[in-house]
Amino acid sequence: MKATISDYELYLYFSYLPKFSEASLQWLNCDFENDFGKGVDKEAWWVSEGVKAFKETMKAEIASTNVNATHILPLSGGLDSRAILGGLLENLPKSQIVAATYGIPGTWDLEIAQTITREFGIRHEVFNLQDEKWEIDQLLASATRLKNPVSVHQSHVRQKINNHFGSDCVYWSGLMGDSLAGSDLPKTPSQDKTEAVRRHINLYPTHHYKDQIFQEKIITKAVSECSWDRIKQTKYTLDQQLDFGVRQRLLTQQIVLFNGFIFKTPFLSSLWTNFISNVPCQWFQDKHLYKRVIRESFQELWKLPSGSTFGRPISASKFEIFLGRVIAKLKPYIVPKDPYRSHPRTNYINWTESLRHKGNLQSSVRETLESLKHRAIFRNAELDTWWLDHLNRKKDYTVLLMNLSSLELLLQAGKF
Protein backbone atom coordinates (compact mmCIF):
# COMPACT_ATOMS: atom_id res chain seq x y z
CA MET A 1 0.00 0.00 0.00
CA LYS A 2 1.52 3.30 -1.02
CA ALA A 3 1.86 5.51 2.05
CA THR A 4 1.56 8.95 0.51
CA ILE A 5 0.21 11.30 3.13
CA SER A 6 0.58 15.07 3.30
CA ASP A 7 1.91 16.83 6.40
CA TYR A 8 -1.41 18.68 6.61
CA GLU A 9 -3.31 15.40 6.85
CA LEU A 10 -0.94 14.03 9.48
CA TYR A 11 -1.26 17.20 11.54
CA LEU A 12 -5.06 17.15 11.41
CA TYR A 13 -5.17 13.48 12.40
CA PHE A 14 -2.65 13.59 15.27
CA SER A 15 -2.89 17.26 16.41
CA TYR A 16 0.87 17.45 15.85
CA LEU A 17 3.31 16.45 13.12
CA PRO A 18 4.72 12.99 13.95
CA LYS A 19 8.18 12.74 12.37
CA PHE A 20 8.58 8.98 12.71
CA SER A 21 12.00 9.04 11.04
CA GLU A 22 13.29 11.28 13.85
CA ALA A 23 12.00 9.16 16.74
CA SER A 24 14.39 9.37 19.69
CA LEU A 25 14.56 8.68 23.41
CA GLN A 26 17.74 10.63 24.03
CA TRP A 27 15.82 13.64 25.31
CA LEU A 28 14.81 11.59 28.37
CA ASN A 29 18.36 11.98 29.77
CA CYS A 30 18.39 8.35 30.83
CA ASP A 31 21.44 6.10 30.99
CA PHE A 32 19.86 3.08 29.33
CA GLU A 33 22.75 0.83 30.34
CA ASN A 34 22.38 1.43 34.09
CA ASP A 35 20.92 -1.42 36.17
CA PHE A 36 19.94 0.47 39.32
CA GLY A 37 18.13 -1.82 41.78
CA LYS A 38 18.51 -4.90 39.59
CA GLY A 39 17.00 -7.94 41.28
CA VAL A 40 15.37 -6.00 44.14
CA ASP A 41 11.66 -6.79 44.45
CA LYS A 42 10.84 -5.14 47.78
CA GLU A 43 8.35 -2.33 47.28
CA ALA A 44 9.42 -0.51 50.46
CA TRP A 45 13.00 -0.32 49.14
CA TRP A 46 11.86 1.19 45.84
CA VAL A 47 9.67 3.73 47.63
CA SER A 48 12.59 4.76 49.84
CA GLU A 49 14.95 5.10 46.86
CA GLY A 50 12.30 7.05 44.93
CA VAL A 51 11.83 9.53 47.75
CA LYS A 52 15.60 10.00 47.89
CA ALA A 53 15.88 10.39 44.09
CA PHE A 54 13.13 13.01 43.83
CA LYS A 55 14.24 15.06 46.82
CA GLU A 56 17.85 15.10 45.62
CA THR A 57 16.66 16.07 42.15
CA MET A 58 14.68 19.05 43.42
CA LYS A 59 17.54 20.18 45.65
CA ALA A 60 20.02 20.01 42.76
CA GLU A 61 17.69 21.76 40.29
CA ILE A 62 17.03 24.62 42.71
CA ALA A 63 20.73 24.93 43.55
CA SER A 64 21.46 25.53 39.85
CA THR A 65 19.26 28.66 39.78
CA ASN A 66 19.88 32.23 40.90
CA VAL A 67 19.60 32.32 44.68
CA ASN A 68 17.18 35.28 44.55
CA ALA A 69 15.07 34.06 41.63
CA THR A 70 11.28 33.92 41.71
CA HIS A 71 10.05 30.41 40.94
CA ILE A 72 6.83 30.10 38.92
CA LEU A 73 4.93 26.81 39.13
CA PRO A 74 1.88 26.11 36.93
CA LEU A 75 -0.22 24.37 39.61
CA SER A 76 -3.15 22.12 38.74
CA GLY A 77 -5.14 19.45 40.55
CA GLY A 78 -2.77 16.71 39.38
CA LEU A 79 0.17 14.86 40.89
CA ASP A 80 3.17 16.23 39.01
CA SER A 81 2.81 19.91 39.88
CA ARG A 82 2.03 19.08 43.49
CA ALA A 83 5.18 16.97 43.76
CA ILE A 84 7.23 19.89 42.43
CA LEU A 85 5.52 22.25 44.88
CA GLY A 86 6.57 19.96 47.73
CA GLY A 87 10.18 20.17 46.57
CA LEU A 88 10.03 23.95 46.26
CA LEU A 89 8.54 24.37 49.74
CA GLU A 90 11.26 22.17 51.19
CA ASN A 91 14.09 24.18 49.63
CA LEU A 92 12.88 27.76 49.25
CA PRO A 93 11.16 30.47 51.30
CA LYS A 94 7.50 30.87 50.36
CA SER A 95 8.17 34.44 49.26
CA GLN A 96 10.09 33.11 46.23
CA ILE A 97 7.34 30.71 45.11
CA VAL A 98 4.40 31.74 42.92
CA ALA A 99 1.73 29.29 41.79
CA ALA A 100 -0.11 30.02 38.53
CA THR A 101 -3.29 28.28 37.38
CA TYR A 102 -5.39 28.63 34.25
CA GLY A 103 -8.86 27.25 33.69
CA ILE A 104 -12.47 28.00 34.52
CA PRO A 105 -14.29 28.24 37.88
CA GLY A 106 -15.80 24.96 39.05
CA THR A 107 -13.02 22.75 37.72
CA TRP A 108 -10.66 20.73 39.89
CA ASP A 109 -7.54 22.29 38.40
CA LEU A 110 -8.65 25.72 39.59
CA GLU A 111 -10.39 24.86 42.84
CA ILE A 112 -7.84 22.36 44.13
CA ALA A 113 -4.97 24.69 43.28
CA GLN A 114 -6.73 27.46 45.25
CA THR A 115 -7.19 25.09 48.20
CA ILE A 116 -3.50 24.14 48.19
CA THR A 117 -2.19 27.69 47.96
CA ARG A 118 -4.49 28.89 50.74
CA GLU A 119 -3.43 26.01 52.97
CA PHE A 120 0.28 26.70 52.52
CA GLY A 121 0.16 30.48 52.23
CA ILE A 122 1.56 30.74 48.71
CA ARG A 123 0.92 33.56 46.26
CA HIS A 124 -1.48 32.35 43.57
CA GLU A 125 -2.15 33.94 40.18
CA VAL A 126 -5.30 32.73 38.39
CA PHE A 127 -5.88 33.05 34.64
CA ASN A 128 -9.64 32.69 34.12
CA LEU A 129 -10.11 31.42 30.57
CA GLN A 130 -13.74 32.49 30.53
CA ASP A 131 -12.36 36.00 30.06
CA GLU A 132 -9.95 35.05 27.26
CA LYS A 133 -10.27 37.16 24.10
CA TRP A 134 -8.66 34.66 21.69
CA GLU A 135 -7.50 37.57 19.52
CA ILE A 136 -5.90 36.57 16.22
CA ASP A 137 -2.79 38.71 16.61
CA GLN A 138 -2.06 37.23 20.04
CA LEU A 139 -2.66 33.67 18.80
CA LEU A 140 -0.34 34.36 15.88
CA ALA A 141 2.35 35.60 18.28
CA SER A 142 1.99 32.35 20.24
CA ALA A 143 2.25 30.32 17.02
CA THR A 144 5.45 32.15 16.10
CA ARG A 145 7.15 31.02 19.34
CA LEU A 146 6.48 27.33 18.62
CA LYS A 147 9.32 25.11 17.42
CA ASN A 148 7.05 22.53 15.77
CA PRO A 149 3.39 22.38 14.68
CA VAL A 150 1.14 21.73 17.70
CA SER A 151 -2.10 23.20 19.05
CA VAL A 152 -1.66 26.96 18.96
CA HIS A 153 -4.59 27.53 21.31
CA GLN A 154 -3.29 25.22 24.05
CA SER A 155 0.23 26.59 23.86
CA HIS A 156 -1.22 30.12 23.84
CA VAL A 157 -2.78 29.43 27.24
CA ARG A 158 0.52 28.07 28.58
CA GLN A 159 2.41 31.06 27.23
CA LYS A 160 0.08 33.47 29.08
CA ILE A 161 1.88 32.57 32.32
CA ASN A 162 5.33 33.30 30.88
CA ASN A 163 4.16 36.49 29.19
CA HIS A 164 2.72 37.66 32.49
CA PHE A 165 5.81 37.05 34.66
CA GLY A 166 8.55 37.67 32.08
CA SER A 167 11.91 36.08 31.35
CA ASP A 168 13.67 36.81 34.66
CA CYS A 169 11.86 34.03 36.56
CA VAL A 170 12.47 30.29 36.79
CA TYR A 171 9.60 28.21 35.40
CA TRP A 172 8.85 24.66 36.50
CA SER A 173 7.19 21.94 34.44
CA GLY A 174 5.94 18.47 35.37
CA LEU A 175 6.68 17.26 31.82
CA MET A 176 6.86 13.44 31.65
CA GLY A 177 6.09 12.92 35.34
CA ASP A 178 2.89 10.93 34.74
CA SER A 179 4.14 9.28 31.56
CA LEU A 180 7.39 7.89 32.95
CA ALA A 181 5.46 6.70 36.01
CA GLY A 182 3.19 4.46 33.91
CA SER A 183 0.31 6.67 32.78
CA ASP A 184 -1.56 5.17 29.78
CA LEU A 185 0.57 2.02 30.02
CA PRO A 186 -1.37 -0.84 28.40
CA LYS A 187 -1.90 -3.86 30.64
CA THR A 188 -0.76 -6.10 27.80
CA PRO A 189 2.21 -4.62 25.90
CA SER A 190 2.28 -4.81 22.10
CA GLN A 191 4.22 -7.80 20.80
CA ASP A 192 5.42 -6.34 17.50
CA LYS A 193 5.97 -3.01 15.72
CA THR A 194 2.76 -3.12 13.69
CA GLU A 195 0.61 -3.73 16.76
CA ALA A 196 2.40 -0.93 18.63
CA VAL A 197 1.88 1.56 15.79
CA ARG A 198 -1.77 0.55 15.42
CA ARG A 199 -2.34 1.21 19.11
CA HIS A 200 -0.35 4.43 18.95
CA ILE A 201 -2.33 6.02 16.13
CA ASN A 202 -5.63 5.13 17.79
CA LEU A 203 -4.69 6.46 21.23
CA TYR A 204 -5.57 10.12 20.62
CA PRO A 205 -6.82 10.46 17.02
CA THR A 206 -8.96 13.31 15.72
CA HIS A 207 -12.51 12.01 15.86
CA HIS A 208 -14.50 11.69 12.61
CA TYR A 209 -11.48 12.52 10.47
CA LYS A 210 -10.39 10.14 7.70
CA ASP A 211 -11.16 6.43 7.51
CA GLN A 212 -9.65 2.98 8.02
CA ILE A 213 -7.79 3.11 4.71
CA PHE A 214 -6.06 6.32 5.82
CA GLN A 215 -5.12 4.71 9.14
CA GLU A 216 -3.58 1.75 7.35
CA LYS A 217 -1.47 4.14 5.29
CA ILE A 218 -0.19 5.73 8.48
CA ILE A 219 0.66 2.32 9.94
CA THR A 220 2.64 1.41 6.83
CA LYS A 221 4.41 4.76 6.89
CA ALA A 222 5.28 4.62 10.60
CA VAL A 223 6.54 1.02 10.60
CA SER A 224 8.80 1.66 7.61
CA GLU A 225 10.08 5.12 8.63
CA CYS A 226 10.42 4.86 12.41
CA SER A 227 14.02 4.66 13.60
CA TRP A 228 13.46 1.54 15.64
CA ASP A 229 17.17 0.95 16.02
CA ARG A 230 17.52 4.42 17.56
CA ILE A 231 14.68 4.12 20.07
CA LYS A 232 14.95 0.40 20.84
CA GLN A 233 15.62 0.12 24.57
CA THR A 234 15.01 -2.86 26.82
CA LYS A 235 13.75 -0.58 29.62
CA TYR A 236 10.61 0.40 27.71
CA THR A 237 7.91 -1.47 25.83
CA LEU A 238 7.33 -0.77 22.14
CA ASP A 239 4.24 1.22 23.15
CA GLN A 240 6.27 3.45 25.48
CA GLN A 241 9.03 3.86 22.91
CA LEU A 242 6.58 5.30 20.40
CA ASP A 243 4.84 7.47 22.97
CA PHE A 244 8.06 8.85 24.47
CA GLY A 245 10.09 8.96 21.28
CA VAL A 246 7.45 10.56 19.06
CA ARG A 247 4.29 11.92 20.70
CA GLN A 248 5.63 13.24 24.00
CA ARG A 249 8.71 14.76 22.35
CA LEU A 250 6.94 16.34 19.37
CA LEU A 251 3.60 17.22 21.01
CA THR A 252 3.61 17.68 24.78
CA GLN A 253 7.11 19.10 25.06
CA GLN A 254 6.44 21.60 22.26
CA ILE A 255 3.27 22.90 23.94
CA VAL A 256 4.75 23.47 27.40
CA LEU A 257 8.37 24.51 26.71
CA PHE A 258 9.44 27.35 24.42
CA ASN A 259 12.43 29.57 23.79
CA GLY A 260 13.38 32.65 25.78
CA PHE A 261 12.65 31.35 29.30
CA ILE A 262 14.38 29.25 31.98
CA PHE A 263 12.52 25.96 32.40
CA LYS A 264 13.18 23.31 35.01
CA THR A 265 11.91 19.78 34.28
CA PRO A 266 12.77 17.63 37.31
CA PHE A 267 11.15 14.47 35.93
CA LEU A 268 13.64 14.59 33.06
CA SER A 269 16.70 14.82 35.31
CA SER A 270 19.07 11.85 34.93
CA LEU A 271 18.78 11.03 38.65
CA TRP A 272 15.01 10.58 38.36
CA THR A 273 14.90 8.91 34.93
CA ASN A 274 17.58 6.40 35.94
CA PHE A 275 15.46 5.53 38.98
CA ILE A 276 12.01 5.40 37.40
CA SER A 277 13.17 3.49 34.30
CA ASN A 278 14.26 0.57 36.49
CA VAL A 279 11.15 0.21 38.64
CA PRO A 280 9.76 -3.36 38.32
CA CYS A 281 6.76 -3.39 35.98
CA GLN A 282 4.32 -4.77 38.58
CA TRP A 283 4.33 -1.37 40.31
CA PHE A 284 3.72 0.71 37.21
CA GLN A 285 0.01 0.00 36.78
CA ASP A 286 -2.11 2.96 37.90
CA LYS A 287 1.19 4.74 38.75
CA HIS A 288 1.18 2.78 41.99
CA LEU A 289 4.81 3.29 43.03
CA TYR A 290 4.92 6.89 41.83
CA LYS A 291 1.95 7.80 44.01
CA ARG A 292 3.57 6.16 47.02
CA VAL A 293 6.89 7.91 46.44
CA ILE A 294 5.35 11.37 46.19
CA ARG A 295 2.99 10.74 49.10
CA GLU A 296 5.88 9.65 51.34
CA SER A 297 7.96 12.63 50.19
CA PHE A 298 5.44 15.34 51.06
CA GLN A 299 2.74 13.88 53.30
CA GLU A 300 1.03 17.15 54.21
CA LEU A 301 0.33 17.94 50.55
CA TRP A 302 -1.39 14.62 49.99
CA LYS A 303 -4.01 15.13 52.66
CA LEU A 304 -5.62 17.65 50.29
CA PRO A 305 -7.92 16.78 47.34
CA SER A 306 -6.54 15.66 43.99
CA GLY A 307 -8.00 15.64 40.49
CA SER A 308 -6.64 12.14 39.88
CA THR A 309 -8.81 10.84 42.73
CA PHE A 310 -11.92 12.77 41.66
CA GLY A 311 -11.63 15.58 44.18
CA ARG A 312 -10.71 13.32 47.08
CA PRO A 313 -7.35 13.04 48.90
CA ILE A 314 -4.77 10.75 47.28
CA SER A 315 -5.16 8.31 50.19
CA ALA A 316 -8.95 8.05 49.75
CA SER A 317 -10.62 4.65 49.72
CA LYS A 318 -12.06 3.12 46.54
CA PHE A 319 -15.58 3.94 47.75
CA GLU A 320 -14.67 7.59 48.39
CA ILE A 321 -13.14 7.85 44.92
CA PHE A 322 -16.24 6.23 43.38
CA LEU A 323 -18.43 8.73 45.23
CA GLY A 324 -16.27 11.56 43.94
CA ARG A 325 -16.69 10.27 40.38
CA VAL A 326 -20.50 10.21 40.73
CA ILE A 327 -20.65 13.72 42.23
CA ALA A 328 -18.40 15.03 39.43
CA LYS A 329 -20.82 13.73 36.79
CA LEU A 330 -23.81 15.30 38.50
CA LYS A 331 -22.22 18.60 39.55
CA PRO A 332 -22.58 20.41 36.17
CA TYR A 333 -26.33 19.81 36.29
CA ILE A 334 -26.84 20.45 40.02
CA VAL A 335 -24.76 23.64 40.15
CA PRO A 336 -25.14 25.21 36.66
CA LYS A 337 -22.81 28.18 37.18
CA ASP A 338 -21.01 27.28 33.99
CA PRO A 339 -23.34 27.81 31.00
CA TYR A 340 -21.42 25.07 29.15
CA ARG A 341 -21.92 22.54 31.96
CA SER A 342 -18.26 21.66 32.08
CA HIS A 343 -17.16 18.54 33.94
CA PRO A 344 -14.92 19.32 36.96
CA ARG A 345 -12.08 17.52 35.17
CA THR A 346 -12.24 19.97 32.23
CA ASN A 347 -8.75 20.97 31.09
CA TYR A 348 -8.41 24.54 29.80
CA ILE A 349 -12.07 25.15 28.81
CA ASN A 350 -14.96 23.21 27.32
CA TRP A 351 -13.78 23.60 23.71
CA THR A 352 -16.77 21.71 22.29
CA GLU A 353 -19.45 23.98 23.71
CA SER A 354 -17.35 27.14 23.36
CA LEU A 355 -17.28 26.57 19.61
CA ARG A 356 -21.06 26.14 19.58
CA HIS A 357 -21.80 29.34 21.52
CA LYS A 358 -21.35 32.82 20.14
CA GLY A 359 -18.27 34.28 21.72
CA ASN A 360 -14.58 35.10 21.32
CA LEU A 361 -13.37 31.56 20.60
CA GLN A 362 -16.07 30.85 18.02
CA SER A 363 -15.37 34.14 16.24
CA SER A 364 -11.60 33.65 16.05
CA VAL A 365 -11.85 30.03 14.88
CA ARG A 366 -14.38 30.98 12.22
CA GLU A 367 -12.12 33.81 11.03
CA THR A 368 -9.13 31.50 10.65
CA LEU A 369 -11.22 28.91 8.80
CA GLU A 370 -12.28 31.56 6.31
CA SER A 371 -8.62 32.46 5.77
CA LEU A 372 -7.78 28.79 5.30
CA LYS A 373 -10.37 28.51 2.53
CA HIS A 374 -8.37 30.91 0.36
CA ARG A 375 -5.41 28.53 0.38
CA ALA A 376 -7.41 25.84 -1.45
CA ILE A 377 -5.74 23.07 0.58
CA PHE A 378 -9.10 21.45 1.36
CA ARG A 379 -12.45 21.49 -0.34
CA ASN A 380 -14.31 24.52 1.01
CA ALA A 381 -17.60 22.66 1.01
CA GLU A 382 -16.00 20.09 3.32
CA LEU A 383 -14.84 22.80 5.73
CA ASP A 384 -18.33 24.32 5.77
CA THR A 385 -19.90 20.92 6.44
CA TRP A 386 -17.61 20.24 9.39
CA TRP A 387 -18.38 23.65 10.86
CA LEU A 388 -22.17 23.50 10.42
CA ASP A 389 -22.47 19.89 11.57
CA HIS A 390 -20.61 20.77 14.76
CA LEU A 391 -22.72 23.86 15.44
CA ASN A 392 -25.91 21.88 14.80
CA ARG A 393 -24.72 19.02 17.05
CA LYS A 394 -24.85 16.47 14.26
CA LYS A 395 -21.27 15.44 15.04
CA ASP A 396 -18.50 16.46 17.40
CA TYR A 397 -15.79 18.03 15.23
CA THR A 398 -14.12 19.88 18.11
CA VAL A 399 -10.57 18.60 17.65
CA LEU A 400 -10.72 18.82 13.86
CA LEU A 401 -11.96 22.42 13.87
CA MET A 402 -9.39 23.49 16.45
CA ASN A 403 -6.65 21.77 14.43
CA LEU A 404 -7.79 23.50 11.25
CA SER A 405 -7.74 26.85 13.04
CA SER A 406 -4.25 26.11 14.40
CA LEU A 407 -3.12 25.02 10.94
CA GLU A 408 -4.01 28.40 9.46
CA LEU A 409 -2.19 30.20 12.30
CA LEU A 410 0.85 27.95 11.85
CA LEU A 411 0.87 28.60 8.10
CA GLN A 412 0.78 32.35 8.77
CA ALA A 413 3.62 31.92 11.26
CA GLY A 414 5.71 29.97 8.73
CA LYS A 415 5.73 26.73 10.71
CA PHE A 416 4.74 24.57 7.73
Give yes or no: residues 158 and 303 share one domain.
yes
Residue 203 maps to a domain:
no
105 in Cβ contact with 336 (< 8 Å): no
Give yes or no: residues 38 and 102 share one domain.
yes
pLDDT at position 1, please? Answer: 36
The 10 Å Cβ neighbour count of residue 103 is 24
Give yes or no: residues 298 and 167 share one domain.
yes
pLDDT tens digits in sequence order for the chain, 416 residues long: 344 689 999 999 999 999 999 999 999 999 988 899 988 999 999 999 999 999 999 999 999 999 999 999 999 988 899 999 999 999 999 999 999 999 988 888 898 999 999 999 999 999 999 889 999 999 999 999 999 999 999 999 999 999 999 999 999 999 999 999 988 778 888 988 899 999 998 888 898 888 888 999 999 999 999 877 667 777 888 899 999 999 999 999 999 998 899 999 999 999 999 999 999 988 888 889 999 999 899 988 877 777 777 777 767 777 777 777 777 777 766 666 666 667 777 889 999 999 999 999 999 999 999 999 999 999 999 999 999 999 999 999 999 999 999 999 999 999 98
Give yes or no: residues 136 and 283 share one domain.
yes
**Nearest in space to 77 (alpha carbons), one of 54, 107, 106, 47:** 107
68 in Cβ contact with 91 (< 8 Å): no
Q: Residue 296: give its domain's CATH number.
A: 3.40.50.620
* Domain finish residue from 312, 339, 366: 339
324 in Cβ contact with 312 (< 8 Å): yes
* Domain finish residue from 307, 339, 371: 339
Give yes or no: residues 274 and 414 share one domain.
no
pLDDT at position 75, please? Answer: 96
129 in Cβ contact with 100 (< 8 Å): no
pLDDT at position 366, please? Answer: 97
pLDDT at position 164, please? Answer: 96
- Count of structural domains within the chain: 2
Give yes or no: residues 314 and 376 share one domain.
no
205-213, long-range: CB < 8 A, 24+ apart: 205/13, 205/14, 206/12, 206/13, 206/14, 206/15, 206/399, 206/400, 206/403, 207/396, 207/397, 207/398, 207/399, 207/400, 208/395, 208/396, 208/397, 208/400, 209/12, 209/13, 209/399, 209/400, 210/9, 210/13
Give yes or no: residues 300 and 354 share one domain.
no
Range of the domain at 356: 350-416
Give yes or no: residues 317 and 368 share one domain.
no
* Domain finish residue from 320, 339, 358: 339
